[in-house]
Structure 1
Amino acid sequence: MQSGVFYSHLDRQVRPFIELIDFLRSIGIEKDLALPAIAVVGDQSSGKSSVLEALSGVALPRGSGIVTRCPLELKLRKSFGGKWKAKISYQGVVETFEDPSLVEIHVRTAQNTLAGDGVGICDDLITLEITSPDVCDLTLIDLPGITRVPVTGQPEDIGDQIRRLILKFIKKQETINLVVVPCNVDIATTEALRMAQSVDPEGARTLAILTKPDLVDKGAEPDILKIVNGQVVHLNKGYIIVKCRGQNDINQKISLADTTRLEMEFFKNHHHFR
């Protein structure tokens, strides 16, 4: 719940710190002093965009290949009774808008400006601040999806470029690593979790989000439960399993509100995951 006495108290206590950290980052302090952050990491097609969409309530760029081509600082700010509004800033450009459907267009424009048209990446930060009564106060940094094989137009070392960019964020001891892993792959083979383990071998600051539980092979559900219970790869912050909106849901124009309802029904009725 994002209302009531507890949330109001939490908001008063935590929000000033979030705003201070954001301000320090905006003036470049992070070049000399590591600041607390939550970095979102995942292999390509892991469901990372869907997780961020569920948290922010807006559709971010998605598709095949590298979709996140620049680090995206996503600032979510709860407003009590105010209208939805957003501000995007990058390389001296600042634009405000009040239509959630324009988020994807603005982010793609920013990425094309910084990384060029095509499939290249760039280290420059894009900041997207969303103010809405339907979000909680949270700041996340979305990083490019990890790839292994370059596609047409990409440099041969694109995989190494992405890994270097991700390591810049996740190696800092002040960073919580939010690792997105699909349920329908072998968790031991995911590069995102392997990278997180390399900088956080004790799992003290890594939280894993398991996606796509509806795509798990029949009979493999007990193996997923072992992962969720920390019996395969131990993480102090544990695992959360979610079912977000997929491409077919988008094609059918299923709203985020309906997606949340369907997710609750899925877990409530699933023989293994309920």
Structure 2
Amino acid sequence: MFDLSLPDFDLPTLEAGWVWLAGAGPGDPGLLSLNALNGLRQADVIVYDALVDERILKFARDDAEIIYAGKRGGKPSPKQSSISIKLVELAKSGKRVLRLKGGDPFVFGRGGEEALSLVDAGVPFRIIPGITAGVGGLAYAGIPSTHRGINQAVTFLTGHDQNGVAPDQLDWDALAKGSPVIVMYMAMKHISLITQKLMNGGRSGSEPVAVICNATQQNQHVLETTLGSCAQDIATSGLKPPAIVVVGHVVSLREQLNWIEPALARTSQGTKLEEGSD
């Protein structure tokens, strides 16, 4: 067991009546920041999202109150307004509150909405960034977000709006023509419509696409496909959200840069050898 004691330098103090909005990263507990870990070890109450790996919660104090506030599409979920009200109530009661969100709280995480609710209520807060799945998930799949000679820009977008439908306020033609790499969150539900819009905007049906499910976790699965075949391949694969979809020629680099699967294979083989050592 490795030592997870915090280093000997000043880290911020989570004070009574404060809320820290912290990103837990895309899944792998090792991607948690020191500031987020620091908050976990001080908080009286931790309010966490559906995509936070529960192993991360083991860093909390034994007497901390743990409150689940996860929202999953198509399932009964707390309303965003209720979560914001709860954070205010907890802080006003003098609790030290850690709001733990998957990925980064300000990247499709509605952290801005929660922070504004705290501002309106006069509750002091701190933002702790996290590694977002659109960066960390690609890295764990062996796909660079940017690569010299392939792209000098990348676009992050959500595959559905607040009403659960494909966002119609996006200029899909401009995205298709102007962004060499497109990274999509929450896009599986409307992937057929989205891929068609991109191809209608001029993208080739043969352009590489990767679908990364359960990014950075041990059950991560990556489907490599093309823009034209993406929707059908997802349907026949049986893959389910959460997933990140990346469109662009950076996907082709995965053939050389896929480091995680060999690493997991070595770990698995080492475990088998250890089990058979008797």
Question: Does TM, normalized by the shorter one, top 0.5?
Answer: no
Q: Which structure's relative contact order is higher, taking Cα pairs within 8 Å and 6+ residues apart?
A: 1
Larger helix proportion of the pair: 1
Larger-gyration structure (1/2): 2
